Amino acid sequence: MDNMGCDMKKMEESESMIKSVCNFNGRYLSPVSQGHLSKLKGWRNSQMDILRQWKFLTDYNQEKWFQQISEDDTQIILEIMVPAEENNMQFIGYCGIVGMDFINRRGEISFLVDPVRAQDKKLYREDFLSTLYMLCQYGFEELNSHKLFTETFAFRLYHIKILEEFGFHLDGTLREHQFIKGQYHDSLIHSVLCHEWIKIKEEMKNVLEK
């Protein structure tokens, strides 16, 4: 079998594995598709104020990023998909566990959705809670992580409210940590530990599967 055939087989096996582990409440996680890079670039560029991104991405930047995450075991980046018409799946965002530290068994959670979809607060809450559930399930139960954490700009009040509703604990504040549009902003660090996940898992299933 040629290299392309091997690569396709690996991707199919990987996608099947992740979908079997990470699907919940009508959301599915799968490996990032190269065909979605342009849409993802647009979403990232339009939401720079909430990302640690200081310049607009080009097609070249996005292709380079895709190549890097494909080869880096410490960066687990996944698409968020929902069922659409005619048995198709709709790409609504991306997420992941990044900066994996396999010695200390920790990683940082990443999450971004289509900015139009994000305007619907009820939908955003369901997307975010469901994605957090899947990432924690994958991180703690498959990757054997001890700790998953997030960094959030302090002005993202609704996002923080959802994090804390899920069960993330506020570890602390990085004061005036990010410079955005001529002003410094605090960043908040939240985390969940593996032993806390057991209780959170049952609580979130009851909340989201009603």
Fold classification of 3-208 is: Aminopeptidase (3.40.630)
Give the integer Cα–Cα distance in Å for 34 and 67: 10
Question: What's the DSSP call for residue 55?
Answer: S
Which residues have a Cβ under 8 Å from the Cβ of 162 and sit 6 or more positions away?
A: 124, 125, 128, 129
Give the integer Cα–Cα distance in Å for 180 and 146: 32
Give the other-Cβ count within 10 Å of 9's Cβ: 11
Which tokens belong to 93?
């965002």
Give the other-Cβ count within 10 Å of 67's Cβ: 11
Closest CA to 150 of 105, 203, 192: 192
pLDDT in tens, the chain (210 residues): 444 333 434 334 444 444 444 788 889 998 888 888 878 888 777 666 766 666 666 778 878 878 887 888 898 989 999 988 767 888 899 999 999 999 999 999 999 999 899 999 999 999 999 999 999 999 999 999 999 999 999 999 999 999 999 999 999 999 999 898 889 999 999 999 999 999 999 999 888 876
CA distances 33 to 30, 58, 69, 195, Å, are 8, 17, 12, 33
Strand partners, 190: 150, 170
